[in-house]
Structure 1
Amino acid sequence: MRNRLAVKMLRPPPISPMTAAATAEEEGEPLSPAARLFRQPQFNCHIVTILGFGKFISADEMKSGLEATLARHPRFSSVQVTDLSGSDKPRWVPTKVNLDNHVIYPDISDATTAAAADDPVVGDRFVEDYTSGLYHSPLDPSHPLWDLHFLPIRTSEATCVGVFRIHHSLGDGISLMSLFLACTRRTSDYESLPSLPAARRRSAAAVSGFGPWVLLFWIWTFLVYAWNTLVHAFLFVASAFFLKDTRTRIMGSEGVEFRPKRFVHRTLSLDDIKDIKNAMGCTINDVLVGVTSAALSRYLSRSYDGCLPKNLRIRTSLLVNIRPTPGINALAEMMRKGSGAKWGNQMGYMLLRFPVMECEDPLDYIRKGMAVVEKKKKSWEAIFTYISSLVIVKTLGFKVGTILCHRIVSNTSLSFSNIVGPMEEVGFCGSPLVYIAPSVYGHPQALTIHFQSYLNKMKVVLAVDELVIPDPHKLLDDISHSLQIIKDAITRF
């Protein structure tokens, strides 16, 4: 009961009808349907990013850096308000940001700090416990829905740690990560924004010009996309009513969204992942899907005494931003003086099945993963689910849309994402960043797996419900081991 009451505290405060009318006309901007979804108690999602710093940052330095960047962004300097008419249509209303309410330096005992200095594993555990405990300290809805906790304690990878918490209604994960990176600068040149790897685009040279073969190619491509979309749409709808994943030891139980999560992470070699990508002729995301499939197979096989059943249905619910994310330069400009860059949650869902199975050849996990992902790439599933959600909300109401969305996510096993980070070292508020480890809590799943690249490293971050997955570090071991055996296999490929 305490957890449910804590969630309800996040509902934005009402304002008078007169004030609401003035706000709507002069300042207020309505929340998008996705942002409204994240206001619901059963989808009260918060993005949590653990930041490893190379040196200590004073409170004044932190506030100065945020004042010049993030605090100027429209979403990070607005509160959500609802009028008293009963319409429950919240709006964004600009407010003055008092950074004392958002930058938090908790008291850490000298004994804990000294113990962490002698044994950084103590610091790792402290950060885990502190981050998990944030669930019990909900964000104050009378202020913009974000805060940054700075922990001056040594860990196994960093001199000190920051925990950035942002309510998911402020934006989708990709946009928020892009915004955060727009607040950083290269340590080699503090006037320059970080650079990201260029997105790989499919070449159209093979279908340039016009002729009967080109026409047949486009007709065939359309039919493939249409068929895949039809199949995926059917499975998506079925998942809202009766199609559930196989009940395994990683699937959450009822009420999992109201329980705190534990966040653990591990650093992998991005070079190893690239070697596998080049050897298999696929993408980094394909490799990560394959590695995750191998790790889940290894982890779950222990539940079945080493004999993994066939045809396990293990799926992830992927949130897909259907609107192009503003570039880092556009976001940096937005924080300086405002710009026309688009912002907000405009997302569709995709359901991706992980090939969890026993394979004699570790590379089969990559091959199976590539086949699954390729079908998703050749469909309009995300667009279909986005449009469908708008139609459902408009015709049947927002509560019905929320219930259906909750059922779909609850009927899948985990969440999964892969976010691209800077290729060079960057600094935040005057300190170099050692690592970036994003995750999320508040959704109805017991396991979330995030991958975040940075420099030549790939950080894997798990958010788990310890009542379901009491040994998250073993799952991290399985991910590391799976990457290693796949890397070893390509030398024999």
Structure 2
Amino acid sequence: MAPPPPPPLSIDTLCGAAASGEAAEEPLSPTARMFHDFYIVAVLGLGKPIDLEPARAGVGATLARHPRFCSIRVMDGAEPRWVRTTVNLDDHIIVPDLDRAAITADPDKALEDYVASLSTLPMDQSRPLWEVHVLDFPTSEAACAVALRIHHALGDGTSLVSLLLACTRSAADPRALPAMPSAQPPPPPSAWRKQGRRVYGAPPRPAWSAGALALAAWVLACAVLAWNTVVDVARFVAMALQLVRDPSTVFAGVEGVEFRRKRFVMRTLSLDDVKLVKQALGCTVNDVLVGVTSAALSRYHFRKLGAEQNTSRSTCFRSVLFVNLRPTSGIQELAKMMESGKHNDLKWGNRLGYIVLPFEIVRHDDPLDYVRNAKKTVDRKKHSFEAIATHMIAETVAKLFGIEVSTGLFHRMISSTTVLFSNLIGPAERIEFYGNPVTYIAPSNFGHPSALTIHWQSYMDTIKIILAVDDAQFLDSHDLLDDFAESLERIRNAASTTFKAQVKG
């Protein structure tokens, strides 16, 4: 079900640079130059049929005024760059005329099929690289949906989701921006080098008066941090050169998988269940999500192997996490950026590092062992400067050998792993998208050489698992979703028993 040409609407939005005299060109970052055909897709479920004209006006007044969203990517010449242009909303807001019989028969599948079609449809490079697709029919979770397709060169996933949230408002107070969960983010890179600040992944340096034992413990922690970084960087380089590759499993993609059609499937789970496990085991939400993912992939893996094979043998493969190295701007600052159409002092774009996170595929008698082992793995990764070092390697290779070599190494590194994994924190309260209540948020991406991409996205008291799968390889992708739901339930039940025992004790 391919999307048709844009409908005949007519509003032009003038980019802020043209009106303000701001510089109309800006160089592309090396990371943005590497992302040739790497896209982000985000589906928003809405609680009522969309009122198109107010939504259209809202997009023109906010998203279309962002400096990246009113620029085209120019790749000719010695220096690839962003060039400001005038945004014609006719080119970006698309209301497809879909098969009503297919929608009536299975609206959830009709939504899936349409979003899947976006993974094979090229984007016009002569326009700003974003689209808003309005799918105005009800599904099991929403009265209608909006699908955004955004080229990854415009920004990393964390920044783009933050930007999207800056376009929304609190349902309780339409004048207020959404309330985000209170979380203590990791310190920005600049803070790691400042006197008296915490060294990321190691304890803060004690005062000289603390004694020799405390100072020795700090030195040892820093030595472990340095050793872990060396090991992680060596492994990263070996994977980029394809000296080390993941074993062949049911999750591994075929050659050229980045060009194949992707299907985006999702399931809504309880965030309270995740928090109960977190509380029972004294870990983080991220630890729980990594553990649930390991359990779900293990269930699927052993089921696909079948009884005729040795299903007791464990294996391990790796996932790649993209880490945003820029301090993420608050949605208040992003909202001001869109109002003015200027960057101001905000840092925007792609400044990414890479973390290689192993996933264990194994049978555990105790479901909580998946989370315990995940916590050990994640804690080990926290004691490393892997993300900073891999970013520096990518930047150095691009400067010394050119963007083609850097892009090739990036592709080889992703090809040496099995999956991409990420999780994002969403609003803690119900929000509205240009006056339309949002029932769910489901981001994902495509264009990289992986057959399976795993995203977790929280929103209010729910958390959604979104899988981007090779449509031809994972014909049973909904069974894999069932494995995630079943794994979380088993882990939650075990944690509940543990928590009750702790309370009684």
Aligned 8 A contact 1:124 1:156 in 2: yes
Which deviates the most, 174-183 or 212-221? 212-221
Q: For 2:329 and 2:24, how far apart are their aligned partners in 1? A: 23
Cα shift at 1:38: 0.4
SS of the aligned residue for 1:374 comes to helix
Aligned counterparts of 1:244 and 1:110: Cα–Cα separation in 2: 46
User: C-alpha root-mean-square deviation of aligned residues, in Å?
Assistant: 1.8
Residue of 363, 382, 386 corresponding to 2:387: 382
Asked whether the equivalents of residues 289 and 369 of structure 1 are also in contact (C-alpha less than 8 Å), the reply is yes
Instruction: Report the 3-state secondary structure (helix = DSSP H, G, I; strand = E; otherwise coil) of the residue aligned with 1:350.
Output: strand
Q: Partners of 2:407 and 2:225 in 1: how far apart?
A: 28
- Tell me which residue corresponds to 2:219: 219
Does 1:324 pair with 2:327? yes
SS at match of 2:118: helix
Map residues 181-200 of structure 1 onto 2, 5 A cutoff. 181-200=165-184
Distance 1:134 1:26 in 2: 33
Partner of residue 36, structure 1: 33
Supply the distance in 2 between the matched residues of 1:110 and 1:228 (Cα, whole angstroms): 56
Match of 1:106 among 58, 71, 96: 96
Post-superposition shift, 1:110? 4.1
* Residue 58 (structure 1) shift: 2.9
The offset of 1:232, in angstroms, is 0.9
1:260–1:441 Cα contact (<8 Å) kept = no
Secondary structure of 1:135 counterpart: coil
Tell me the distance in 2 between the aligned counterparts of 1:327 and 1:217: 36
Tell me the CA shift for residue 435 of structure 1.
0.1
Match of 1:17 in 2: none
Partners of 1:408 and 1:26 lie apart in 2 by: 36
Q: Is the 2:276–2:496 Cα contact (8 Å) retained in structure 1?
A: no
Which residue is equivalent to 1:62?
55
User: Scaled by the length of structure 2, what TM-score is found?
Assistant: 0.87
1:471 aligns with 2:476: yes
Q: Report percent identity of matched pairs.
A: 49
* Counterpart contact for 1:249–1:468, Cα < 8 Å: no
Query: Residue in 2 aligned with 1:362?
Result: 367
Corresponding residue of 1:165: 149
The answer on whether the counterparts of 2:120 and 2:260 sit within 8 Å (CA) in structure 1 is no
| AA of the residue aligned to 1:64 | A
Give CA-to-partner distance per residue, 1:16-62, whole Å, 9 cap, x none.
xxxxxxxxx942111101100002xxxx1110011100112233122
3-state SS in 1 of match to 2:311: coil
Q: 1 CA distance for matches of 2:61 and 2:399?
A: 40
Residue 207 of structure 1 and its aligned partner are, at CA, apart by: 6.5
Give the Cα–Cα distance (whole angstroms) in 2 for the partners of residues 397 and 442 of structure 1: 21
Q: Name the CA distance, whole Å, in 1 between partners of 2:206 and 2:321.
A: 33
| Structure 1 counterpart of 2:49, one-letter code | F
- What is the Cα deviation at residue 451 of structure 1? 0.3
Distance 2:98 2:466 in 1: 25
Deviations 1:145-185 (A, max 9, x none): 00010111110000001111000000000000000001100
Match of 2:315, SS state, is coil
Structure 1 residues 338-347 or 271-280, which shifts more? Answer: 338-347
Report how far residue 304 of structure 1 moved: 2.3
- Tell me: CA distance 1:446–1:188, structure 2 relative to 1, closer, same or farther (3 Å): same
1:221 CA drift (Å): 2.0
Letter in 2 for 1:266: R
What corresponds to 2:9 in structure 1?
none
Partners of 1:309 and 1:61 lie apart in 2 by 57
Conserved in 1, the CA contact under 8 Å of 2:424 and 2:457? yes
Maintained 8 Å contact 1:59/1:103? no
Establish whether residue 47 from structure 1 lines up as the match of residue 50 from structure 2.
no
Equivalent residues in 2 for 1:305-316 (5 A)? 305-306=306-307, 307-308=310-311, 310-316=313-319
How far has the Cα of 1:373 moved from its partner?
A: 0.5
**Residue 81 of structure 1, aligned match among 41, 52, 74:** 74
What is the CA deviation profile of residues 177-206 of structure 1, one whole-angstrom value per residue up to 9, with x for unaligned ones? 000001100010011111211224699799
- Aligned: 1:91 with 2:81: yes
Corresponding position: 1:483 with 2:473: no
Point out the more displaced range, 143-152 or 193-202.
193-202
Give the partner amino acid of 1:334. Answer: M
The whole-number CA distance in structure 2 between the counterparts of 1:368 and 1:384 is 25
Deviations 1:308-336 (A, max 9, x none): 35341211011111111111111011011
1:420-464 C-alpha deviation (Å, 9 max, x unpaired)? 000000000110000000000100000001000000000100000
Secondary structure, aligned partner of 2:58:
helix
Question: 1:256 aligned to 2:257?
Answer: yes
1-side partners of 2:495 and 2:178: how far apart?
A: 32
Q: State how many pairs are aligned.
A: 456
The aligned counterpart of 1:231 is 231
Contact 2:120/2:259 (<8 A) preserved: no
Residue in structure 1 matched with residue 131 of structure 2 by the alignment: 147
Does residue 24 of structure 2 align to residue 27 of structure 1? yes
Structure 2, unmatched stretches of 5+, are 1-21, 187-196, 499-505
Corresponding residue SS for 1:314: strand
Distance 1:218 1:404 in 2: 36
Displacement after TM superposition at 1:95 (Å): 0.8
Q: Partner of 1:29: helix, strand, or coil?
A: strand
Q: Does 1:176 align with 2:181?
A: no
8 Å contact from structure 1 (residues 270, 458) kept in 2: yes
Match of 1:243 in 2: 244
Q: In the alignment, which residue of structure 2 is the partner of 1:460?
A: 465
Q: Is the 8 A contact 2:71 2:128 kept in 1?
A: yes
Quote the residue 1:12 is aligned against: none
In 2, the alpha carbon distance for the partners of 1:476 and 1:282 equals 24
Which whole-Å CA distance do the structure 2 matches of 1:155 and 1:201 have between them? 36
CA contact (8 A) 1:447 1:462 kept: yes
